[in-house]
Amino acid sequence: MARNGKRRSSNSAGGRPRHSEKPKKRWWLRILTVLVGIGVLAVIGLVLAVMVTMRSLPSYSTLKASEHGQMIVVRARDGRELVSIGPSYGEWLDSREIPQVMKDAMVAVEDRRFYSHYGVDPIGVARSLMVRVEKGVWRQGGSTITQQLARNIFLNNNKTFDRKAREAILALALERKFSKDQILELYLNKVYFGGGAYGIDSASRLFFSHPATQLEPAEAAIIAGLVKAPSRYSPTADADAAVARAAIVLRLMQQEGYISGAEADRIDVSTVKLKEDHGQNSVRYFTDWVLPQLDFLVPDSFEPIEVWTTLDVGMQRAATTAVKSNAPGGAQGALVSLDRDGAVLALVGGTDYVESNYNRATQAQRQPGSSWKLFVYLAALEAGYTPDTPVYDRQITIDGWTPRNSGGTYAGKIDVRAAFAYSKNTVAAQLGQSVGFGTVASMARRFGITSPISTYPSMVLGASEVRLIELTGAFAAVQAEGRSVEPYGITRVTTADGDLLYERKRGRQDQLVAPYVAAQMTDLLQTAVNTGTGRAAQIGRPAAGKTGTTSSNKDGWFMGFSSGITTGVWMGKDDNSRVAGLQGGTAPARAWAAYMRVATAKRPVEEFTTELTMPEWQLEPDDEAWFGGEGGDYYFFDEEGNPIDPYGRDYRAPPDDGSRPGDAAGYGPDGYRDGYYDNGYPEGYGNTPPSERQPEQPRGIDQDFLDRATGRQEQNLRRDAPPGTGTGQQQVQQQQVITPTRQAQPKMVEIRPAQTN
């Protein structure tokens, strides 16, 4: 019995797991089968796609003869050719003519498993995915030389999975159709190396003045290092970057066994002699800025095109000379000049494009110093300050920060105009605190500043970094009476045959601030040039502007406008080190004046609009409350904002003949136009037939009824005051004494130092 019981017990305890394992195994087998089936179908599909693609590929001779790249002719605003940019091809070198060191350098740096994979490198793809997971962004590409060749010949550079999938299929097809030597030959003769050079022979002639058959190991390392970023590692643009990149290539060649350690040590890349290039000039700063915009303006094609721009050749020449002649020794300079609609007339990104193609006018972010006060004073003027408002220039402390003036002295009681003209830092700090530092930041955003903006108190003195072209656009908006100005450089794009591909439409101009605020700001800017820190910018005609100098004289700015042209100038060093004697009112202001004398020479003299017409919201509140509506009629509203008729439902608004209460003629004894309610008008209330009138409604006794009942018709009839505003007679008295005020009364700004423990 016990034995049988144990047997039953063991069966009941041990039987269930054995029965439950079978369904689990079946599910795993089903999932595995499905996955294997999907994998088999995917492989079959991939093989079919590769076979179909391989059959559709051109022959090797066709690929050799094909040239890619687009010829682009850039023209100035008068139609003159500025520069012609397009592909440059050298001699085609077959695999036997290409130096072996060039092949080894390219394979080492771009695809070290080139000879072992079949077009796609699984290890490289896995490494790229791991970096993506660890860093959160695509930092390392997994493309092979074959994939790059497929992309350069058949595809574009869009970073999409669809493009990558097609690239992989094309690479596998190329590997099936051509040999490794043929693929490497195609690649080295077609890859882009910068400066318009396609292929190693064109690159060798461009950078070293000799054919690629004569390449030395150091030169081959430089060329191989260019593929990753041709503009960044170009030896003519940044020799130090090119040398550093070439050193990495040599180290990789040593790791892969192409050269020994001793050979690597003997190669000195810094001794390579580069070809002298005299063809580049400051126009390239402008073309480098506008040409990338073509990706968004015209469809992709390899058809030759002509790009018509806004650049003025004479102004560009004057701008280049002004920057070079006035930049302090060892310092760089940049200039941006805009027409009144935002057209870029001149753009200089540095003192010498050949030495450095880094565009300081459109790329560099630097602290603007006191030129940032444009936004501080705009916010203050919009808040109700005027150029004549009294302020105090004195030592203050805001949240533990104590600003100081440049000369270390304080002027005491002055007005806003003088504070701006002499760039008083303490007043700017007080105004910023008065209107709110966030308000100043919002004003800068409103005027087109896109870089991060600090809201600490010191931001009023230009602690946030800006781009020169953005700040120039902000000053241009002031000259445009407060309307937005967007810098642009391309007016139209055509094919070589003249077919229109793109034409710029007139951009939308938003009203950023009221015209009276812009007029007041112009008043301040004009005073800064006439009698303030910008006196060196005087050009013999009305000019308005602002200087800017950062701490330790690291940056100098002058921003200003005259005769419809707005120009900004920056000077400083790329490493942000001190420049002795650099101030916004010295070299930058002199460069601005030298350029603007040429730029405005053929333009009529324009006087600035600085008359102050205050907006309606600065009228006295009672005036504003009782005026409104077309025709100047009075209207009343209930608590929910609905219009009401204080004279009954039959009331009809009198026609507007242009007369107003208080005029000598036009109003009868009832206080309205020629006795409107005394049947003076045929369509008046008194002549309305009874059949057309609304049913009479009981009316309460009001002051109007009492006036008529007691015969007090000699008094001017007035309207009932809205509920809660006093009696009608009191309202008459209020209206008789109100005089609209067109100028706000000056107010004194006095901010006490913050208390510290």
Active site positions, annotated:
110, 370
Q: Is the sign of the CA dihedral 319, 321, 324, 326 positive or negative?
A: negative
User: How many angstroms separate the CA atoms of 743 and 727, rounded?
Assistant: 30
| CA separation for the pair 532, 418 (Å, rounded) | 8
d(CA 728, CA 424): 52
C-alpha–C-alpha distance, residues 368 and 568, integer Å: 11
How far, in Å, CA of 713 to CA of 311, rounded?
74
| Coil/strand/helix, residue 562 | strand
Calculated CA dihedral for residues 436, 442, 447, 451, nearest 10 degrees: 110
Q: Per DSSP, what are the bridge partners of residue 274?
A: none
Question: Token pair 């602690």 is at which residue?
Answer: 463
CA dist 347 and 487 (Å) reads: 11
Measured CA to CA in angstroms, residue 416 lies from 320, 385, 474, 508, 528 at distances of 36, 8, 21, 33, 12
Cα–Cα dist 656/659, whole Å: 7
Helix, strand, coil share (%) of the chain residues, nearest 5: 45, 10, 45
Q: Which residues pair with 307 in a beta bridge?
A: 74, 493
Give residue 757's identity as a one-letter amino acid code: N
Which residues have a Cβ under 8 Å from the Cβ of 290 and sit 6 or more positions away?
Answer: 74, 307, 309, 489, 490
C-alpha torsion angle, residues 263, 264, 266, 268 (rounded to 10): 150
Please state, in angstroms and rounded to a whole number, the distance separating the CA atoms of residues 119 and 390.
76
For residue 35, give Cα distances in angstroms to 31, 32, 42, 165, 580: 6, 5, 10, 21, 72
Q: How far is CA 605 from CA 473, 539, 564, 572, in A?
A: 22, 11, 10, 32
Q: Is 53 in a helix, a strand, or coil?
A: helix
In degrees to the nearest 10, what's the CA dihedral of 703, 708, 711, 717? 70
**Which residues contact residue 223 at a Cβ distance below 8 angstroms, ignoring those fewer than 6 apart?**
102, 105, 193, 200, 203, 204, 207, 215
Buried b (16+ CB within 10 A) or exposed e, 331-369: bbbbbbbbbbbbbbbbbbbbbebeeebbbbbbebebbbb
- CA dist 74 and 72 (Å) reads 6
DSSP class of residue 653? Answer: P
Instruction: Report the amino acid identity of residue 27.
Output: W
Q: Name the nearest CA neighbour of 460 among 482, 436, 477.
A: 436
Interatomic CA distance for residues 544 and 558, integer angstroms: 10
For 20, which DSSP code? Answer: H
Residue 342 to residue 484: CA distance in whole angstroms: 9
CB-count burial class (<10 Å; 0-12, 13-18, 19+) for 432: buried
- Rounded to whole angstroms, how far apart are CA atoms 157 and 151? 7
Decide: residue 407, CB within 10 A, 0-12 exposed, 13-18 middle, 19+ buried: exposed
Report which secondary-structure segment, H or E, holds 548: strand 544-549
